[in-house]
Chain A
């Protein structure tokens, strides 16, 4: 017998209403925090919301941040469908940046952008997948828990990149622990540059063509997970490992496939940040997007459409938060992080906290509707 908290609710409640209720709750608590430090929470919310959408610059920045979150959100979601909690998106994206950088540093003198950028992306995906492969192998064949190993691999990635950035790739005489700047061929076009080609005038922002790759990844993940037999196998293992074994599916293989795909998706961050914006390998360029991806995937219910929506929300929080810190000096960057943390807490960790009472309220209305029909 299922308890009331597990009762079936229609999809619009589960997917639509609950995330909104969670978000409102998070914003209410955030408002309280803002109130405590003496700022009018309604003003703060207005600045933040407005700051994310007030003009094409704000919207572009929101989308630029959202692009990263789509990649890392999809990465978490694919692993999650196989029953794996991939906390390592951060490290996988970071190492993917190394892959992109190495490919471009080697070839940017010889190849045109149309070949160089796809090669850079491919190298990034191979490196991201490779970094995910090791914890996946350890989980599949050695029984090490993937949550622990992927967390540890984030730290290993961070140290590795500091070493590579400062000792191996740093051009002589340069003070920054980063690689040399890429050649012009390696620049992924920005959206405002393309708009200019079409005769539209857009302000210059970091928003670049990675957003199209993000869209392609969404479509690919949707088809792969729900329309192919590999996706079928992944979901079977994630939902019921024993049934999968019974059906002749190898959970070990599924773990390897899902994690490698996950790492390759996280590599999109390298496309957006390294090839699309910084044009050089920069330390800590992932900037927490890997972790935000966990919340994005949870809030988006591991479905590409949900992930796009929640990625845009988190993009707006980043951009609006930056505006807020700028407008109201008493609200520091740290406060913004705290507010984002609250959203993650309520829509990620406590995602199902409201479900029991929503289910009760729904059951009440539903019964009333049934009774009304009967009479």
Chain B
């Protein structure tokens, strides 16, 4: 357990002081979707309060209501004991609420100082305000250990520091309640630790912190109190000390979950995918994948770990034929690919490579298509689905129905638009489509991003079963736990290069974390 911060929720004064935030009976619907059902929540002053729940449980909606992005259909908001009406983020800021969004809201070409001042310029001319802002930034850096160069451009900063700028923005506006929405998604384990230190320092000075996450570990590591949401309802609020991983997972899902996978030892066969000196340069001329090479064998899962944005996406796109190679080569079964021998997704598919893309909504399905149309995406030219001129609707609908049955996609309605399925069910649909042809090689990006725990369990088991059936699987994920629990071998990517390889059984979070930040190489350079 971490050291208890000052101003713990259970301290005697907490009972008498008004709560920092009190939500009473918040209700919000989007059309037929009931996102928040009569949610009540009390967040004690100067506490670190975690809100946990699966994707779509209503956490983000609740916080968006608190920050004024949405207006609740019913219910009351009390800040420091006083009822407030929040119609926009300006009301929230005036009430002392700051928010760090999952996707940063920063102007990339601007400097840190300019970003912090944006919307709080203090006059028409920037000069006076800039001086004051600079002084204030120095004070904040001193008080909280939030060190960022005020004149650095955002685009030059690593993600961890960009996040600090977001926190600085909130503090600059004198917030005493700070909401963080999934703040660790883009951080290495070490950066996460640094973030938590900052949060503890803020908390020690009386800032109330609300942490929204789907990661059980983080809740247990830093919060005083945890609230669990499920399907729009607040199902439990309990002191973190009394919570365990298993108990929280059960509350989130509503049934018992097995968090561990039974994985047998891999029996790798022949090389199915061989990558040599692969380099990919993007449209801006930036080298995204830099001299990468590896072999992927039948019957093994090769995991690629790394902080998001270190070339994994481009590697996936190159392997699946979406992005052209700049140099190097790929051998996929009998297909030789090089910059001079062009290929595309259709060709790659013919040679037995299936691809479950990272960006499910933009690549994996056409959200406006009904399920039966998305379930043939990429295979729409197959004889099975085509007559001489017209496409065979019945064949597609039947195939969709069967896949839905086999992969337990709910609701089992081939006519439903893809966008209306939950993330987990969309992913099952894509996985079903890609696995159905018994591919020789499967490349998977972020298989469980935004997927509920129940579906994660299912998807992981499917991947293992596919491996045991002899498929060669390349798994790219920013969830370290996922990479560690599924992979037989793990490669770590940093700035487009492979900086380390670890055996699946020997991998631990610390070693991988250090590799992900490329600390080894930097230490070598320093020596």
Contact = CB atoms under 8 A, between A and B. Distances in A.
Interface in A219-267: 223, 227-229, 232-233, 235-236, 239-240, 242-248, 250
A248 B378 contact: yes
B345 A246 contact: yes
A227 B388 CA distance: 12
A240 B362 contact: yes
B158 interface: no
Contacts of B511: none
B306 interface: no
A360 to B, nearest CB: 10
A246 B378 contact: yes
Interface string B368-384: 11000100011011000
Contacts of B15: none
Interface residues of B, number: 40
Contact of A229 (B344, B357, B381): B381
A240 B61 CA distance: 26
A239 B369 contact: yes
A2 to B, nearest CB: 5
Most B CB atoms within 10 A — which of A229, A233, A235, A247?
A247
A232 B31 contact: no
B322 interface: yes
A232 B391 contact: yes
A7 B355 contact: no
Interface string A261-284: 000000000000000000000000
A229 B35 contact: no
Given A229-B391, A243-B366, A248-B349, A236 B377 contact: yes
Contacts of A229: 380-381, 386, 391
B527 interface: no
Most A CB atoms within 10 A — which of B347, B389, B420?
B389
A8 B31 contact: yes
Given A7-B31, A242-B362, A246-B357, A228 B389 contact: yes
Interface in B316-347: 320-322, 344-347
Nearest to B347: A248
B391 A240 contact: no
B4 interface: no
Contacts of A232: 373, 380, 391
B369 A246 contact: no
Most B CB atoms within 10 A — which of A236, A240, A246, A250?
A246
A240 B393 CA distance: 21
Contacts of A240: 362-363, 365-368
A363 B32 CA distance: 8
A9 B381 CA distance: 33
Contact of A1 (B30, B364, B373, B391): B30
B380 A247 contact: yes
A1 B345 CA distance: 31
A366 to B, nearest CB: 8
B390 interface: yes
B359 A1 contact: no
B29 interface: yes
A246 B363 contact: yes
A250 B30 CA distance: 36
B377 A243 contact: yes
16 contacts: A1-B33, A3-B70, A227-B393, A229-B381, A229-B386, A229-B391, A232-B380, A236-B377, A240-B362, A240-B367, A244-B366, A247-B377, A247-B380, A248-B347, A248-B349, A363-B31
Interface of B: 29-33, 35, 60-61, 64, 70, 320-322, 344-347, 349, 355, 357, 359, 362-369, 373, 377-378, 380-381, 386, 389-391, 393, 420
Q: Please provide the 3 A-B residue pairs with the shortest distance between their CB atoms, ordered closest to farther.
A: A248-B346, A7-B31, A248-B345
